[in-house]
Amino acid sequence: QEDALKLADLLLGREVGTGTAIGDMERSCLEETGNIITSAFVNSWATWLDVRIGPSSPSFVLDLPQAVLQSVISEQAALGDEIFFARTDFLVDDQWLEWVFLLLPSPSAMRLIETSCS
């Protein structure tokens, strides 16, 4: 949560480290940041695979890592057994802020990725 607050401070033009809670405005900024980064990632995949991809809107979850992973894994288990993890870092005022992305490709999308990689 500390890194999320620091990034929200930066996005909202506040002094980094002054945010104390993730409110509606902070959540909106973080969700849009996730949307931009996810779209860039998926677009680069589409270019690499030479396909058109229509990604769904990403979800923003702020919780303990175990709780997030348990929820994601149980949802994905109904569709397939593969999850793609991505990590990005932001450099803010000489401090690195870490974000983790979980991309959940459909089984057909995963087959396309596997075929393109082999």
CATH number for the domain harbouring residue 24: 3.40.1550.10
End-to-end CA distance of the chain: 39
List the domain range (segments joined by +) for residue 100: 2-117
Measured CA to CA, the distance from residue 117 to residue 114 in angstroms comes to 5
Measured CA to CA, the distance from residue 32 to residue 10 in angstroms comes to 14
Q: What is the pLDDT of residues 57-112, one digit of tens each?
A: 777 777 777 887 787 777 777 777 676 666 778 777 777 877 777 677 777 777 77
| Mean pLDDT over the full length of the chain | 79
CA dihedral sign, ordered 7, 97, 76, 74? negative
84 in Cβ contact with 52 (< 8 Å): no
Total number of domains constituting the chain: 1
Question: Residue 19, class by beta-carbon neighbours within 10 Å (0-12 exposed, 13-18 middle, 19+ buried)?
Answer: buried
The total number of residues written for the chain in this structure: 118
Q: What pTM does this model have?
A: 0.69
